[in-house]
Structure 1
Amino acid sequence: MTILGLSLSPHDSSAAIVENGKVSIAIEEERLSHVRHCIKYDNSQYNLKSEAKYFDSNFLNPSIDSLRKKINRFYKYFKQGNKHIEEQVSMIVGSNLTGTNVPVDNYININHHLAHAAHAFYTSPYTEAAVLVIDGAGDYFDDSFETVSLYSAHGGSLHLLEKVTGQINHSTNTIIALSNSVGVLYQNTASLCGFGPFGEGKLMGIASYGKPRYVKKFSKYCVKKDTYYQIDNIGLYRCIAKTVNRDTGQKNIADVASSVQKIINNVVLFYARRIKEVTGHRNLCYAGGVALNAIANTKILEKSGFKRVYIPSAPGDNGVSIGAALYGHYQINGNQKKISSGVPPVYLGYKYNDKVLTQAINKYRKYINFEKLRYNKIPPKIAKLLADDNVVAWFQGASEFGPRALGHRSILASPLKMSTRVRLNKIKSRESFRPVAPMMTIDDLSDYFYCPPKVVADSLPYMLFAYTPLNKRITKKIPAAVHVDNTSRLQVLSKNQNSRLYVLLKEFAKISETPILINTSFNIKGEPMVETPKDAIKIFIKSNIDYLVLNNYLIKRL
């Protein structure tokens, strides 16, 4: 059976096709629209006076025509690989938070947190697990929004055990004031610190430069109860706003970020321990937008008591489409989940053929030089370029699904000099405090980084945990790859997961005696990661990247 899964969330919408229980293709809308998070947003509008009006008019109530346009855009993308896909789809399952009728026949809408949970569990290597969902806001019912959900999963079924909800107790009816929401707390803080409501990653980056000196002050609005955390987000918003407005310097911003990060660590760990207590399971699956916080995720790994932890590559709303489609396969159609040997592939986009690549090259050939290399010649040649401190854009096969560059739409560089990180942040017009992530093979992990004992992180290929180098010698050896807090948000690969990158890492190690490369997303400021060969060459020409590898083509600007 062919199932279309849809995430029709107001931000980070996506679509996926599941055939006989396996995800065959998936795409995030931002890759097609070139609009980050699928929404144009001005941070100045994110305040108690104007935010509710903005959400009402542009965000929470899309027209049926706009939803139809969105779905048609997804089908157009899928038809590149299968022009009959629309006729072959026999079930459509999605999660639609807006309340607008979805303009397709036989559409089945499921709960938002349930779709998150389905994505986390059905893509995991487990047949039994506790499933935790923490985000900003899910479905609305009984005058409340869901903010945290705890499930138990077995075979093909998911069972809701507990749910935390929050209310908006403010005259403007704004999401800023939603109580008991960890995601809203982080979103509010990011905006107040000047990074915008989708700037949580920047907030996590700058937090490592600060001291958590406001924890006691902020914790007055975040109180632990027996089974949940009571979070007064309107009180916190006002308190953080006063703290930031009193001193807008970067040091104070870092202290605010550090304080909020520590609170989030405590809350997330509380819920991980809570679901461990309630279920008794050895395995944890975790999803929702808060699951993108690598620092909090690492606390779960180290202190929750679970033996294995899995977070999907797209734990935010973009992953809901996969969860919805897999829910259709397992729970609606009654199929049983089988244990798998590892995590599923994440390279789920359309694989562009050589004809499309050459068309893109010809379109821009007056700006570039290019040569086509044999497959086995690429890793040693690129390893030498990287060892010579060149920055290389790396475009291979189908795009990865999720917000992290995982080796098919990446910018690669050597980790051996701190100046590399400075240069990468300039290329991407990023703030100087932001870290870049390293990638390495699973064979070399334990020789370079401390791995928490007695627990397995099954999401190592997805850059969702922060690991610490084994010693100061390693930290000094790879300065571009280690953040100021002496951690690295690692991507760890096996040969089966990405054979070409695996070989490239080994070739780089032969030259540099270091089996590690920097991997950051192939995009520039204001743009999502590139999707098509045309996107890749266009961004390459605009940037100061030295080389572009487009499958087997090596490209340099004239």
Structure 2
Amino acid sequence: MSEFFSERLGATGINKHYLLGHDAAAALLVDGRLVAAVEEERLNREKKTTDFPTHAIDWCLKEGGITFDDVDVFAFPWNWTPQVLDEIRDGIRTSPLPQDAKTRLMADMGDLFEQVVSHEAMLADFEARTGHRPHPAKVRFVPHHLAHATTGYYLAGLKDCAFLVSDGRAERFSSLTGEIRDGRITVFEDSVIGAQHSMGTLFSSLTRFLGFVPNNDEYKVMGLAGYAVPPTPNPFLDNLLTLHDDGRYSFSKPLQTDDLRSHDALFEEYFGPFEDTLAYTSRVAAAAQQMLNVATAHQIGHLERKTDLDRLLFEGGVALNCLNNTPLFEGSRFEDMQVSFGASDTGITIGAAAHAWLGDPGTGSTDIVAAAAAPVTPYLGPDYDEAEIEEALAGFAGRVVFSRLDDDQVVEQAAELLTQKVVIGYFEGRVEHGPRALGHRSIIANPGFDDMKDIINTRVKHREPFRPFAPLVLEEQAPKIFEMGRKTSSPYMTFVFPVRDEYKDRIPGAVHVDGTSRIQTLTHEGTPRLTALLRRFTELTGTPCLINTSFNVAGEPIVCTPTDALNCFMGTEIDYLVLGNHLVTRSDDY
């Protein structure tokens, strides 16, 4: 896939993640229970890889103790049919593109279908990469946005819900709404928005315009938005975005989805020639953020009138814009809103598998009830026992020193260390699924120091100084520290809340410039040792939060193996490494 996009559509370098195929992953359900899921990037070490998830599939099978012959259903989170291709070509024919561009694009789409995304092409690729050809009766192709919706539904406990899915593009669409009742999806057809009016793709174009990597760095644009207020008037609202009575929106200038730069001239018309300054980039980001907030609130307002359900799921890459999620929920009538840890394309393999399982006539109601009762954790990837950790440590002999501790000692010693101005790499248990580090492959630090954000950004993460950090907070203490409104928890860093005034000076390292924080709430049931560590740290310092950021450096995936963790530790200015039950420091010679 990556070769086709690079040769035909120029998706190389900074643009390599712009089109389809990023965030390769695999997941395994056994009797309706999610037993394994991992992104390919964690294993092949290529961030946002477009490669076939060979390693992820192999690991899931191994984790489940099965072979391909034991698999009842193979589910793919795409459904490119000949009808989809015909509809895409019809859209190209009626577009305002010059005729030669239409001809070229129609040929490219035909070749994309035949060589990459058709059912036959996907099965042939699967066979070439795995050596196994699934029997046709065992194969399900799940439309991309339905896979997104089912991911949220499954991870939220299979409860009836309304949903909004919004991302860059799928087979033809970028966004839609609907309901899920008793495992059956109803799409509200009048809510469907085509790819040429994609909010996700527009944000990708903006991300590229501002000098970042599209389909990768949109969270940087979100962070920049906090440094400015939206301009008045906002040209995105006044000149580009049109809201329709049926809950949809459109752009006055439709996107050319094969051309990442199709709107650059428009951006410069609105904001002037590009300037690589915080003042310029934050003003554009704030204007774009306001546009996204208005557009999604419009969609939710219409969805409220279409459904009598009181739960809302928001899935797809746009749902990772957590700056939007809190006001979106607070401005709605829904009693609860959830954004799962699998909201981006990393999670759609879970949704595809769940969709196939729910639609399998062999699935009994007992299986569904049992699966719904089982808690779903984001910690679904590989883990490593003490013997594997010590084997990795042996490979760094002479460069590190370490001591082996029990869990209580890890909690006590790490909490004591964190009372100082130090940075700790924290590695335990199974790898978390999704784009956020949720405490199993994290870097943690004391947010009570004013300069801690700068220390981590420059000396450890090697990234832009404007980037904020998320605080870990005990779930029962979160409403005391943050203005959470109707939310009571945020376990996956998918909501942003204002920090209460009396705590801003107590956790300055975890407060963004606009006075907010993207929090992760902890419970003993979800993360017992990390929760105990935070509780002990609070007892020692009176500071009720810890900084949590992903255990990696800019441009690399989050660490997976003990060796990955040791390499990252040795290549940065991280002070200590908690590696399972080992406390690791550098030897005096390093």
Kindly name which structure, 1 or 2, has the bigger radius of gyration based on alpha carbons: 2
Common fold by TM > 0.5: yes
Measure how far apart 1:281 and its partner are.
Answer: 1.3
* 1:480 has 2:531 as partner: no
Q: Give 1:435's match in structure 2, choosing from 468, 475, 483.
A: 468
Q: Distance in 2 between matches of 1:342 and 1:480?
A: 36
Give yes or no for contact 2:77–2:147 (8 Å, CA) kept in 1: yes
Q: Shift of the alpha carbon at 1:238?
A: 2.6
Q: Which moved more, 1:503-512 or 1:267-276?
A: 267-276
Q: In the superposition, relative to structure 1, how do residues 376 and 403 fare at CA in structure 2: closer, same or farther (>3 Å)?
A: same
Bigger strand share: 1
- Distance in 1 between residues matched to 2:393 and 2:311, nearest whole Å: 47
CA distance in 2: counterparts of 1:418 and 1:385, whole angstroms? 17
Cα distance, 1:430 vs. partner? Answer: 1.1
Shift of 1:165: 5.2
Q: Partner of 1:89 in structure 2?
A: 71
What amino acid is the match of 1:469?
V
Task: Render the CA deviation track for 1:497-554: whole Å, top value 9, x for unaligned.
Answer: 1100110011001111122100000001210100111111111111110011111011
For residues 512-531 of structure 1, what are the structure 2 equivalents within 5 Å? 512-531=541-560
Determine the structure 1 residue equivalent to 2:200.
183
Residue in 2 that maps onto 1:275: 303
Distance in 1, Cα, partners of 2:198 & 2:521 = 31
C-alpha distance in 1 between matches for 2:462 and 2:190: 41
1:466 matched to 2:510: no
Q: Which residue of 1 aligns with 2:218?
A: 200
3-state SS in 2 of match to 1:77: helix
Q: Distance in 2 between matches of 1:248 and 1:74?
A: 39
Pair 1:401 & 2:420 matched = no
Q: 1:88 to 1:215 in 2, by over 3 A?
A: farther
Q: Which amino acid aligns with 1:162?
A: E
The equivalent residue for 1:216 is 234
Task: Give the structure 1 partner of residue 525 of structure 2.
Answer: 496
Match of 1:136 among 158, 165, 168: 168
Distance 2:427 2:275 in 1: 43
Consecutive unaligned residues in structure 2, runs of 5 or more: 1-18, 81-116, 127-132, 256-261
Residue type at the aligned position of 2:378: V
Query: Secondary structure at the residue paired with 2:569?
Result: helix
Which residue of structure 1 lines up, in the alignment, with residue 11 of structure 2? Answer: none
- Return the offset for 1:340: 5.3
SS in 1 for 2:349: helix
SS, match of residue 236 in structure 2: helix
Q: 1:42 is matched with which residue? A: none
Structure 2 equivalent of residue 101 of structure 1: 122
Tell me if the contact between 2:25 and 2:53 (Cα under 8 Å) persists in the aligned partners: no
**CA 1:26/1:302 → structure 2, altered by over 3 Å: closer, same or farther?**
same
Per-residue deviation at 1:113? 0.3
Partner of residue 350, structure 2: 322
Q: Does 1:550 align with 2:579?
A: yes
Q: State the Cα RMSD in Å.
A: 2.0
One-letter amino acid of the structure 2 residue matched with residue 226 of structure 1: D
Taking the aligned partners of 1:276 and 1:238, their CA distance within structure 2 comes to 37
Any idea what the Cα deviations from partners look like across 1:136-171, whole Å, max 9, x if unmatched? 1011xxxxx21111121112211112355566xxxx
Give the corresponding residue for 1:230.
Answer: 250
Secondary structure, aligned partner of 2:41: helix
1:429–1:83 CA distance, 2 compared to 1 (3 A): same
Which residue among 179, 182, 185 is the counterpart of 1:158?
185
Distance 1:297 1:474, change over 3 A: same
1:62-461 alignment to 2 at 5 Å? Answer: 70-96=52-78, 98-99=117-118, 100-102=121-123, 103=126, 104-105=133-134, 106-125=138-157, 127-139=159-171, 145-162=172-189, 164=191, 178-197=195-214, 198-213=216-231, 216-219=234-237, 220-227=239-246, 228-231=248-251, 232-234=253-255, 236-242=263-269, 243=271, 245-333=273-361, 334-336=363-365, 337-338=368-369, 344-426=376-458, 427-452=460-485, 455-456=486-487, 460-461=490-491
- For the Cα contact (< 8 Å) 2:175–2:192, is it kept in 1? yes
Question: CA offset at residue 233 of structure 1?
Answer: 4.5
Q: Would you say the 8 A contact 1:193–1:244 is kept in 2?
A: no
Residue 44 of structure 2 is aligned with which of 24, 27, 33?
33
SS in structure 2 at match of 1:366? coil
Mapped to 2, the partners of 1:82 and 1:20 lie a distance apart of 11
Give 3-state SS (helix, strand or coil) of 1:461's partner: coil
Rate the CA distance shift 1:365–1:31 in 2: closer, same or farther, 3 A: same
Does the 8 A contact of 2:227 with 2:514 survive in 1? yes
- The CA distance in 1 between the partners of 2:233 and 2:161, in whole Å, is 33
- Paired residue for 2:22? 11
Equivalent residues of 2:469, 2:548 under 8 A apart = yes
Take 1:414 and 1:108, find their aligned partners in 2: how far apart are those partners? 48
CA distance, structure 1, for counterparts of residue 163 and residue 488 of structure 2 = 15
Distance in 1 separating the partners of 2:68 and 2:403: 38
CA-CA distance at 1:268 after TM superposition = 1.2
Paired positions, count: 503
Which residue identity does 2:385 align to in structure 1? N
Give the C-alpha shift of residue 237 in structure 1: 4.0
Matches of 1:343 and 1:263, distance apart in 2: 36
1:450 and 1:23 map into 2 onto residues whose CA distance is 34
Please give the alpha-carbon distance, in whole angstroms, between the structure 1 residues aligned to 2:76 and 2:345. 11
SS in 2 for 1:404: coil
Give the AA of the match of 2:584.
I
Q: Classify the secondary structure of the residue corresponding to 2:186.
A: strand
Partner AA of 2:494 in structure 1: L
Find the aligned partners of 1:233 and 1:424 in 2 and give their Cα distance: 40
Q: CA deviation at 1:30?
A: 1.0
Q: Note the C-alpha offset of 1:38.
A: 0.6
Distance 1:126 1:215, change over 3 A: farther
TM-score (normalizing by structure 1): 0.86
| Cα drift, residue 236 of structure 1 | 4.7
Pairwise CA distance, 1:18: 0.6
1:259-283 deviations in whole A, cap 9, x for unaligned? 0000001111111222121112110
How far did residue 244 of structure 1 move?
5.4
166 and 506 in structure 1: CA distance in 2 versus 1, 3 angstrom threshold: closer
Residue range with higher mean Cα deviation, 95-104 or 118-127:
95-104
Which residue in the other structure is 2:10 paired with? none
Paired with 1:332 and 1:520, the residues of 2 have a C-alpha distance of 40
* Secondary structure of the structure 2 residue equivalent to 1:332: coil
Once the two structures are superposed, what CA deviation does each residue of 1:33-80 show, in whole Å capped at 9, x if it has no partner?
2111114xxxxxxxxxxxxxxxxxxxxxxxxxx6xxx35322332355
Distance across 2 between alignment mates of 1:301 and 1:17: 31
Which range moved further: 342-351 or 547-556? 342-351
The answer to whether 1:508 aligns with 2:537 is yes
Question: Secondary structure of 1:389's partner?
Answer: coil
User: Which residue pairs with 1:57 in the alignment?
Assistant: none
The answer to whether the 8 Å contact 2:28/2:64 transfers is no
